[in-house]
Structure 1
Amino acid sequence: MADTSVPAQVEQRPDRLREFWFYFRENRGAVIGLWIFVVFAFLALFGPWIAPHDATLQYREAILKPPAWQSGGSWSYPLGTDPLGRDMLSRLIEGARYSFFVGVIVVSIAASGGIIVGLIAGFAPKWVDAVIMRIMDIVLAFPSLLLALVLVAVLGPSLVNAMIAIAIVLQPHYVRLTRASVMSELQKDYVTSARVAGAGMLRLMFITVLPNCLAPIIVQAALSFSTAILDAAALGFLGMGAQPPTPEWGTMLAEAREFILRAWWVVTFPGLAILVTVLAINLMGDGLRDALDPKLKRS
């Protein structure tokens, strides 16, 4: 019996991965979103070696240079230059690094804090659970961008403070999702068996219950990643996020507003970068939901 059970345990994880990929690839939009996200991550990680110019270097002889395929353009600046003569392609690639960094940090802070608070709410006595959830309801009652603006106004305009504010705004979603998953799992037999076996509270929370709550949390993390990028761009556009000359996409849009009629490329390309990235991550999140939610799997 031992010789047959061990290989079964070893093969269990690859089988799950194959099953996940089988259901994920059925959603073609999700696969396209995944490839776009891979390109986005590649640009974020290797941007300094890919960008043709320094993102903050100004070429005074090439101010508002049009894209290379347009009359007056140059292949030295494939996507043109901005009002200060900086290469648009290099700034977009560098902006991908900031957006990726924002998404990773915000999701890490919001998810880790929200999961811990959600676990506490799920296992705590009813009055503690009620207090935590009412606080989360109060936070959710405010429009997310407005609350982020207030927090950044208190902390001071900067990219770091914008990330902290967005993470605080997104945290209640993880708290509610984790608590709901925990409450559902606590009714199952394996949790009762673990209690009878003498498992401590921390082991029940983090070893027994949490791994079975991860599927919806992973989907929420993917969607929060795109929300973080979008909110950071909105705060940057309003002057409350990344500050010039940081090549963040929202800040680039803010700097180019007055040139929208004279130089369409300085507004169009940062806007398209935000649109394509957020759309790709949302499509990937839909695919993750389809692949991880047993109710949506087709037999």
Structure 2
Amino acid sequence: MAETTMTAAATAAARPGRLKEFWFYFRENRGAVIGLWFFAAFILVAIFAPLIAPHDPTQQFRDALLKPPFWEEGGSLTYPLGTDAVGRDMLSRLVHGSRYSFYVGIIVVTFAASGGIVIGLIAGFAPKWIDTIIMRVMDIVLAFPSLLLALVLVAILGPSLTNAMIAIAITYQPHYVRLTRASVLSERSKDYVTAARVVGASKSRLMFTTVLPNCLSPIIVQAALSFSTAILDAAALGFLGMGAQPPTPEWGTMLAEAREFILRAWWVVTWPGLAILITVLAINLMGDGLRDALDPKLKRS
């Protein structure tokens, strides 16, 4: 009884210690900390978009077409960042667009990672012929440029934000399969896996309880980087007319609608482009920090 209590206390003490160690290495990368703050702001804006946005993102103000930002001549504080060609407030559309970008990142990473992890675990523990078949299929998918493959899939499924997310998730899945399989092959020969197998652990328990927790570090880093790439690819599909459809305030769709006004109204192109740039850059910086903090080879003594 006393031994069990001591073990539980030691485990509880180890968890805060691990979090403290993680934060110590993470904050050494100043870019990652800055990225974390920007990402936190991005999440807050996405959550509270209806409260932050001054107007409905699809509402058209016919008396304020292509209104410039408030600091330029003819601008107004009613529309701080100006309006687009049909009189919609740019700030409101940008704020609500963060919701779509966050939604895309979450859905794509969740589906790509969950499917990729399961397939990677199966490949790592399956007989060699099954492993070979799985990995050759993944190689075929990886042979296509991801955006081109996503375009083909969306063309088959039909242009929409939902189909764009499905297509992007399919193109990202092989990365998780290969990463998980490589981690499993590295872990399955270690003593703790052999010990679990000797005491009679089932294969599913070995896969999901014994080995998987020790493979999560590189997968978490990949998920962070995939989040930013998913936002970028969704914007690209929206720009090409294969993602979110007008009047959805998605950043890529906003860029597509603003193409013909680049010379007349710089703000209709600049703000969505900056939103994509800052969000993707912040998440990539945060992903670099996660890699530094979670990879023991990169930790400085």
TM-score (norm 2): 0.98
Q: Describe the superposition over 1:6-37 as per-residue Cα deviations: whole angstroms up to 9, x where unpaired.
A: 32221110000000000000000000000000
Deviation at 1:4, TM superposition (A): 4.3
Tell me which residue corresponds to 1:139: 141
Match for 1:142: what amino acid?
F
Within-5 A mapping of 1:3-82: 4-82=6-84
Deviation at 1:5, TM superposition (A): 3.7
Q: Pick from 122, 125, 147: which aligns with 2:124?
A: 122
Q: CA–CA distance in 2 between the matches of 1:250 and 1:6?
A: 50
The answer to whether 1:191 aligns with 2:206 is no
| Runs of 5+ unmatched residues, structure 2 | none
Q: Describe the superposition over 1:107-150 as per-residue Cα deviations: whole angstroms up to 9, x where unpaired.
A: 00000000000000000000000000000000000000000000
Match for 2:205: what amino acid?
R
Q: CA–CA distance in 2 between the matches of 1:227 and 1:77?
A: 31
Q: Describe the superposition over 1:136-177 as per-residue Cα deviations: whole angstroms up to 9, x where unpaired.
A: 000000000000000000000000000000000000000000
Cα root mean square deviation, aligned: 0.7
Tell me which residue corresponds to 1:273: 275
Tell me which residue corresponds to 1:173: 175
Q: CA–CA distance in 1 between the matches of 2:8 and 2:55?
A: 55
**SS, match of residue 61 in structure 1:** coil
| Runs of 5+ unmatched residues, structure 1 | none
TM-score (norm 1): 0.99
Tell me which residue corresponds to 1:296: 298
State percent identity of aligned pairs.
Answer: 79
Q: Pick from 222, 226, 229: which aligns with 1:227?
A: 229
Q: CA–CA distance in 1 between the matches of 2:258 and 2:239?
A: 10
Q: CA–CA distance in 2 between the matches of 1:247 and 1:10?
A: 46
Deviation at 1:194, TM superposition (A): 0.1
Q: CA–CA distance in 2 between the matches of 1:53 and 1:187?
A: 59
Q: CA–CA distance in 2 between the matches of 1:124 and 1:7?
A: 38
Tell me which residue corresponds to 2:92: 90
> How many residue pairs align between the two structures?
299
Deviation at 1:206, TM superposition (A): 0.3
Q: CA–CA distance in 1 between the matches of 2:6 and 2:193?
A: 28
Q: CA–CA distance in 2 between the matches of 1:254 and 1:164?
A: 21
Tell me which residue corresponds to 1:259: 261
Match for 1:188: what amino acid?
K
Q: CA–CA distance in 2 between the matches of 1:237 and 1:4?
A: 58
**SS, match of residue 78 in structure 1:** coil
Q: CA–CA distance in 2 between the matches of 1:158 and 1:9?
A: 47
Bigger drift between 40-49 and 104-113 goes to 40-49
Q: CA–CA distance in 2 between the matches of 1:131 and 1:269?
A: 46
Q: CA–CA distance in 2 between the matches of 1:69 and 1:26?
A: 38
Tell me which residue corresponds to 1:236: 238
